[in-house]
Amino acid sequence: MLHVDDRGPGGTVRLLILDRPERRNALDHATLDELDAVLRDTVAGVERGAHRVLVLTGAGDHFCAGADLTGVEDEAFVDKLHHVLATLRAAPLPTIAAVAGAALGGGTQLAVACDLRHATPTARFGIPAAKLGLMVDQWTVERLAGFAGQGPARAMLLATATYSGEEAFGFGLVQRLGPIEDALAWADAIAVLAPLTIAGHKLGLNEAESLPEMSPAYRAAFDQAWSSADMREGVAAFHERRPAYFRGA
C-alpha cells in the first residue's frame, strides 16, 4: 500500500509513504503498480505547477526491506521495478529518499534512484543479492558506485556489506543526517527555489550518466542469474530460514 500526502509550501511537496510495516515495507507487484501510477501523476502535476519536490519514505520503523520474496521471483516483477527506478530518475523534480531503519536490496535501489538521500544515523543500506542468487540492474550498480564510491559499492555488491546511515553520510551516499522530520523541512526549503532551474540541472546531471539500460554482457549475466538453480535455492533457503548452498549454476 502507498499513501500520498501533498504538503509543504502551497502543497508543492508530495510525500509518498510505503505502507506495509508488517513486511518492513517490502516491495510486491501491487506496491510497484501503485508507485508507477503515483509517479506518473506526479510528473503530470509538475507540468501544471502542482508539485516541486517528491519525498519517498516508509511507514513505521523502516524505509524498505527490499523485494517481498513471496511471489516476486519473476521477470514481470523485475521489469516493474526497473520501470519505477527509471521513472524516479527521470521525473522533472528533485526527489528525496527519507530513510530510517532498513533500506536493503530494492530499498537501496529506490534510495539511489532518488536525487538526494536523508537518513537517520541508524538506518541500514545494503544489497544482499548474493545471499539470494539474484542480480540488480546495471544502472543501480553505476549509480551506487557514483554516489557511494567504488569501495563501499563493491563491498555492498560483492560481499553483501551493510552500512549505517552515519557511515553512508561519511562516504557521501547520504547528504543529510538526522530525524526523518528534517527531510520534510529540507523538501520545504527546496520547494521555494526556481523549479525550471532545478529541472534543467537535474536533466544535465542525468545526461552525465549512462542511460538506465544494460549492456549485452551484463544482460546475459543478469538473465543467467535470475533463471539459475542458485536463485531458486537462495529464495527457498530464505523462506525455509536455512543457509543457502550455491553451486554456481
CA 48 – CA 84 distance, rounded (Å)? 22
Give me the pLDDT at residue 71, please.
60
The C-alpha cell that represents 138 in the structure block: 546495471
Residue whose grid cell is 563493491? 154
- pLDDT digits over 6-63, tens only? 998 889 999 999 999 999 999 999 999 999 999 999 999 998 899 999 999 999 999 9
The C-alpha cell that represents 170 in the structure block: 561519511
Q: With contact defined as beta carbons under 8 Å apart, do 189 and 96 qualify?
A: no
Question: Which domains are seen in the chain, by residue range?
Answer: 2-179 (3.90.226.10)
Give me the pLDDT at residue 221, please.
95
The average pLDDT across 219-235 equals 92
**Chain mean pLDDT for the chain:** 94
In 91-240, alpha helices (H): 106-113, 138-148, 150-159, 165-171, 180-191, 195-207, 216-226, 229-240
The two beta strands, 53-58 and 13-18, are parallel
Give me the pLDDT at residue 72, please.
60
Give me the pLDDT at residue 210, please.
75
CA 222 – CA 226 distance, rounded (Å)? 6
- pLDDT digits over 47-99, tens only? 889 999 999 999 999 999 998 877 666 678 888 999 999 999 999 999 999 99
Tally of CA atoms within 13 A in the half-sphere of 85 that contains its CB: 27
The average pLDDT across 146-167 equals 98
- pLDDT digits over 174-209, tens only? 999 999 999 999 999 999 999 999 999 999 999 998
Closest CA to 45 of 83, 89, 13, 3: 13
> Would you tell me how many other CB atoms lie within 10 Å of the CB of residue 37?
11
The C-alpha cell that represents 92 in the structure block: 522533472
Q: With contact defined as beta carbons under 8 Å apart, do 93 and 49 qualify?
A: no
Q: What percent of the chain has pLDDT over 70?
A: 98
Question: How does residue 131 score in pLDDT terms, banded at 50, 70 and 90?
Answer: very high
